[in-house]
Structure 1
Amino acid sequence: MLSFLIFSMLLNSMGVIILQLSEKISYKGLGVLESFKDIPMAIVSLFCVNLIAKTGNKNALIFSLIFILVSCIALPLVDAFWFFKIWLSIVGVSFALAKISVFSIIKNNFQDKQLASSISSVDASFMIGIFFVNIGFGSLLTSSFSEYWKFGFWVIAVLSIINILMLKPLKIDEIKISNTEKKSGEWKFFLNLKIIYFFVIVFFMVFVEQSFNSWLPSFFRNNLKLNSYFALQASAFLALFSFFGRLINSRLILRFHWFKLVLICLFTVFTILAICQIIISNFYLDYKFLLIFLMPLIGLFLAPLFPLYNAEVLNKVPKEKTHLLISIVMICSSLGSSVGSLYMAGVFHKNLSNFYPIFILFPLLIIFGLTFFLNKTTITYDRNQQE
């Protein structure tokens, strides 16, 4: 949970970076910046599976935290835009190692509804990390030390040290795969329809989350004319509601079927987005203050979706396939994040941000349709493939 909190603060500092650099760099240029994180993340996710299998999940997680520790110390000391690209590449590579490791640890130690509950709890810490990074940097940017805002990343470096010291003595049950050579039919398993639907859903889920987490502060500043501090606080409350959404979901999944929870969440998100668009289009001057409360509230119902989809498929996949599954999830996530950021950069560049809720609604409708197919299909697994 602490590992996910740390990486959450790093990955979601993009909202802060976009706000701080938007006066010097165009939105079009900032939209491309996200790719420096996502493309290395996708590449490493594909090729680090065997490495993690050999070294073990705990060691891979510790390595990723060491990379983060060094990069966060260096960031404030290099005053150049190009270093943000290198730093984001390091963040992407490290998160790829960390996520595959963490989810594999969960898969090896939990099963069924307990697995779903554990994933929701860990993902909840991811959302509280977004809250902390927005509150922390928002406070720093409005203080007399605002010019030193990049030194806020040293706090994340300290948390990384604490996390490494906590992980070192731990004994974690894990399955080390000794034979990491590719077997015939290894990839054929992932051509199952249910898994393909899942990968497409992952792409669009991260697409939507990226549109909120990185671009909501810019929407509040550009359209609601809030200053940087209040724009970040609105985004922080989106993360806070998301944290409670995932925390509540970690309990509800023990009692209710995942499909029912997904439908309730999606219908509620659709309703809130529709209300927000109606206010923007027809009652903007009179009720724009409602948007400050309504849009962050979406996190309460949007955030539980990703853990629910993850748990549904991860429960059905054999342990020996976990590393490879999560690596492909990371690739889909990376692509979704990059495309989502480019998508929103285009919306803001073309001055179409008045239709911000509508542009978010489109990918959610695709997710809604694919959810029915995901629920009705099953995963078939031929164990003889491994023999």
Structure 2
Amino acid sequence: MMLNRFSKTLAGAGLVLAMAACTSKKDGNIDNPPTTVAEDKAAITATSKELVQGVKNLSDGQMVRSLFKTIGLENGQIKNEVWMDDLTDALDMAFLGFELDPETSRFDFSRYSGEYTWNAQTKKFVKTAASDITVKFPADPASATNDYVFKISEYKDGKYKVNMKDVYLPTAIKANLKKGADELLTLTFNAEFSTGNFPIPSNIQLLLKLKPVDFAVKVTKLSDTQFDVATRLLAVGDNATALNAKVTFKDNDYNNLDIEEDLIAVEGALKQGNLTLKGALDAKSYFLLPDGASADKFNTVFNLSAFSKDQEIGQLKLKDNNNGQEMVIFYKDKTSEKASVYTEAFIKDLKAVLQPDFGTDVENWFERTAQSKGSFAKKIVNIKNKVSGWIGKK
């Protein structure tokens, strides 16, 4: 499939340019002299290290550390799997079976409302009446108290039509997770959809904090066939990364959406400080390319460039080789080199950060976990399949 065939190439391009786009810090300088190519290369390399450090900051943060301790993730193994399995089984029993409505995909918030408190003696959750959903449970097997408190304090939805069938979509969600007095996770979601033959999103906002990192996503309808997507990541300090994209479809018949036939164009910009990555994909022309198309053909349907203010510092293009195609970065002095000089070092450093938790075979951890004989791992896979099925119904 054309979409899958080219995805790794585009991912590599995005990685290199993301490195370039994240190098700049807010320094308050108004006049920035032009950089040399040597300085641009050094900046990309330095940013590769900064991106790895950003992942490490998230991994070392309170939310992720607490989560990994809860499941007992160490060297790729979930050591608390039996305990987690017992805990989730007990919660499912207290919920009297947790599932979305099979016909409308509705989450019945009122049905599950209540306060669920783990009783270590009976190994059951005790439910008491409440207007929200609150689950109190221990943070790990060694904990003698219910130090985790997860709460969904608000949930609203609306009824819409998809392929002439009623479906329910969330329009407002508020939730948080505390460990003692420490708030590890907060989530706020608001959405507006059009009524009619299909619930076209007109405004979606998601704010998510995984302590200490904040994420924000906003989707705005520009027209029935064009949408703006804005994301913002604020790590430790004020070093924010902003990504904006505009997506255009052929028409508004989303009940019969086929990406290869209906996606027309994607434009985007990744900005941090004075550096901006700009890219565009002529999706309509891209999906018309034949199998085995040359690099030159691919280069006519997409472009990616990095800018320092208004100064272009590099372009990424595909180049044919004996093994197929590779991504090459062309600098402003017309010299070039393989983008892999940056991506390979980045992946190596990233693996070094993730291996203590996910094991030496980190790139295959999710696949190995999905094939695990452990029942808790199978529950995770089952949830994934349910979510995939729910999305497929839309």
| TM-score, length of structure 1 as denominator length | 0.26
Point out the structure with max Rg over C-alpha: 2
Which fold has the larger relative contact order, with Cα–Cα distance below 8 Å and residues 6 or more apart in sequence? 1
More strand by percentage: 2
More helix by percentage: 1
| TM-score, length of structure 2 as denominator length | 0.26
